[in-house]
Homo-oligomer: A and B are copies of this chain.
């Protein structure tokens, strides 16, 4: 087991932080690790908005569904797919392809995961904030994001002030398929559901008991940010 493996396996999201800043050197190392990730066809279509302004942090916390740690964390980064940079270099760039949105989402996530892993290896903790997609228009206006730029997710980083358990994930047998797609093994799913139920029970002192399947039933029983298609297209993305 390498130190990298140890760090990655120990990951759990941190939502409570000490009131202690990161040094600029720490931030620089974290960003350098993000930059080192692979980039599809060397396109480099990611921008990171580092939000320092306290009022903007307060508003982002609100936009994300009142997640106080967005305001409280030592650092908060908004990860964006960005083809506007290319447009500034090449005003007749062919943009708007769904393929480019996919590249942007994938490559931006590769970079962010490097950032989080680097931070965790330095004794820091963090949590991704998908909640900024609750109000993509407002986030976009607040950060002055131009066309062909879309905010994908936030990342809080700081010194952990909590020590949560690692959350049990779907077993490898359910997510790795050999040579072709295989249907869900219902027995393995039932076993995993019990593991998740136990995790919630012990974590909440018995106030929450829920299997993964029950959680999915709730999450996918309702619409998923139905305004996202219009928002993405309003930025000039995925129009073709």
A residues within 8 Å of B by Cβ? 1-5, 7-11, 13, 28-29, 31-33, 35-44, 46-53, 56, 83-86, 88-90, 92-95, 97-100, 102-103, 105-110, 112-114, 116-118, 120-122, 127-128, 130, 133, 142-146, 149, 152-153, 166-167, 169-170, 172, 174-181, 183-184, 189, 212-213, 215-217, 219-226, 228-229, 232, 238, 240
Contacts and interface: CB of A to CB of B under 8 A. Distances in A.
Nearest to A116: B38
Residue of A2, A28, A53, A223 most packed against chain B (CB within 10 A): A2
Contacts of A127: 38
B152 A106 contact: yes
Given A31-B175, A38-B127, A95-B220, 7 more contacts: A9-B36, A31-B172, A38-B116, A49-B179, A98-B238, A109-B109, A143-B181
Contact of A89 (B133, B152, B213, B229): B213
A39 to B, nearest CB: 7
Indicate how many identical chains form the complex: 2
A77 to B, nearest CB: 8
Contact of A220 (B33, B86, B121, B146): B86
Contacts of A41: 130, 219
The 6 closest A-B pairs by CB, nearest first: A4-B121, A109-B109, A3-B3, A105-B105, A99-B225, A93-B220
A56 to B, nearest CB: 6
A146 B105 CA distance: 22
Given A122-B2, A184-B89, A228 B172 contact: no
A26 to B, nearest CB: 10
19 contacts: A4-B4, A4-B33, A4-B118, A8-B118, A9-B32, A13-B38, A38-B127, A39-B169, A40-B153, A43-B220, A44-B175, A50-B178, A85-B174, A90-B213, A94-B222, A99-B226, A110-B128, A143-B177, A143-B179
Nearest to A109: B109
